[in-house]
Amino acid sequence: MPDPDPLAVELEVYIKEIEARRDPDDNEIEAYARMKSRVENDRIALDARFERELKAMSASHESMLKEIDRHDDAIEWKYGQFVREKVAGKIAGQKQRSVKTLFGVVGYRKTAGKVVRHVRLSTDKETLLEWAKRVCPKAVVTKQHESVDADMLPVTCEHIYDETVPESDNFYWKPAKVEENKDV
């Protein structure tokens, strides 16, 4: 039988000394800590996987939405004007301004005329704010920072102009209500 390696013998003696001084409860404590560590690492790995998959799904979602929007634009380009004329002919002389279909309501909706206030392009926000503080302090609104409510400014303000938007008929489609199957 070959002589045992002196380094292996010394290491075996060292390990036996450590185990002799060790508390028997340390095994349970170490096992508990090891299991908790594995659970925490699983949690971290799951969160990382979720973030990766969420980014991938978000990119895919954006791409799919763009494709759907392109399809919607193509339908509008190909059939929109034709359907507008058909609906206008169908509702001509009637009180009702829409046509009901299995897939929703198609029609015209009146939009009232209004006056829209615009800040002149040559005016920066600070100039308008200073002018409003001097001339019309009630138009200064303070939430997180100070700003000016253009609707509160007098008509004589040289930093704004009013644009009159005439009333118009807007074409619309409203999808049909879909009731959920409550038996499932």
Residue 29 confidence (pLDDT): 84
- pLDDT for position 182: 63
SS (H, E, C) 104-173: EEEEEEEECCEEEEEECCCCCHHHHHHHHHHHCHHHEEECCCEEECHHHCCCCCCCEEEEEECCEEEEEE
| pLDDT of 106 | 94
Residue 116 near residue 96, CB atoms below 8 Å: no
Residue 64: the pLDDT is: 95
- What's 22's DSSP letter? S
Burial class (CB in 10 A: 0-12, 13-18, 19+), 132: buried
Q: Give the pLDDT confidence score for residue 183 in this predicted structure.
A: 61
- What pLDDT score does 184 carry? 54
- What's the pLDDT at 70? 96
The pLDDT value given to residue 121 = 65
* Residue numbers of the chain with a pLDDT score lower than 50: none
Contact 159, 127 (CB under 8 A): yes
Q: At residue 41, what are phi and psi to the nearest 5 degrees? A: -65, -35
- How much is the pLDDT for 16? 83
pTM of the model: 0.49
In tens, the pLDDT along 23-33 reads: 777 778 888 88
d(CA 133, CA 91): 52
Strand order in the sheet with 104-111: 98-101, 104-111, 168-175
